[in-house]
Amino acid sequence: IIYLDDILIYSKNEEDHLKHIKIVLDLLRKHQLFAKKSKCEFGVERLEFLGHIVSPSGISVDDNKVIAVKNWPTPKDLTHVRSFVGTAGFYRRFIKSYGEIAAPLTDLMRDNTPFVWTLKQQTAFIIHHSTGKTPFYMVYGIEPKLPGDKLRPLLNDKDENDTQAQIQQLDKQRALVDQRLHSNANKMKIYYDKHLKHQNIALKEGEWVLIHNEQGKKFKPHWIGPYKIRKICPLGTYQLQDQRIRNEFQPDPIQATKKTNLYSISKVEEMIGSINQR
């Protein structure tokens, strides 16, 4: 995993880990990129990465980051509310029903809404303070994406029983937030949901696809969540950020509209091979 200048290499066992480290270091050397030894850790089972603690058990919040939320003073104006919600929201995946809890605070951030700190806002603020030690957010359905590795769906048919309870919970949460779909992010999500619904018949279970927007200047990732993947588009999505494919090739889409195309990942791999042979 690479984020700006941070690189995280993870493996199933020590033998694979040594191979993966060699692959990454060889790539750095090939492109004349340098890693500072004093900032590197090798062969560890627990580390801090992008404000999270990563271990064999999964991913959890860095306790030092939680202290900042716990010690946050009561907001006195809209600027302070936005700062607090932004900081606490970074770990929203660890807090059950976070959207419902934070609703009184996010309501204050709407346009043309006067700042009035009532019992509802104070209660939401106190709940944020009392979240305590957050539970693990388990790594699920993810495999290392290194040369030679194969992509695989996040959810399969055999996982249906295990995820049914989660899906039902998401249904309940969705009913609560449907009335709050006003942000640009939610409008974008609605657009892609509707688009994928029309193409569901043409898609096959477990097939990987490439999704991109023809009107955009570059490929952009779109995450629709495990519920949507399972119910509307039962497959994983893999984003390929290679402008040459878009400029030089016009593969046959599985299904197409004027704005968005879905391409078979096997076809994309053929295009990559053709480019690399040049």
103-135 in b/e form (b: 16+ CB < 10 A) is bbbbebeeeeeeeebeeebeebbeebeebeebe
Give pLDDT, residue 103. Answer: 82
CA-CA distances (angstroms) from residue 21 to 2, 9, 89? 13, 7, 33
Give pLDDT, residue 161. Answer: 40
User: What's the pTM value of the predicted model, to 2 decimals?
Assistant: 0.41
Q: Which residues of the chain have pLDDT under 50?
A: 132-182, 184-185, 196-197, 199-269, 271-272, 275
> Whole-angstrom Cα distance, residue 144 to residue 165?
27
59-84 in b/e form (b: 16+ CB < 10 A) is bbbbeebbeebeebeebeeeeebeeb
Contact (CB, 8 A) for 239 and 220: yes
Contact (CB, 8 A) for 222 and 211: yes
Contact (CB, 8 A) for 203 and 233: yes
Q: What is the per-residue pLDDT across 193-222, written as a single tens digit (0 to 9) for each? A: 555 445 444 444 444 444 443 333 333 334
> Whole-angstrom Cα distance, residue 224 to residue 232?
10
191-224 in b/e form (b: 16+ CB < 10 A) is ebeebbeebeeebeeeebbbbbeeeeeebeebee
Q: What is the per-residue pLDDT across 231-254, written as a single tens digit (0 to 9) for each? A: 333 333 333 333 444 444 444 444
Q: What is the per-residue pLDDT across 74-86, written as a single tens digit (0 to 9) for each? A: 888 888 888 888 8
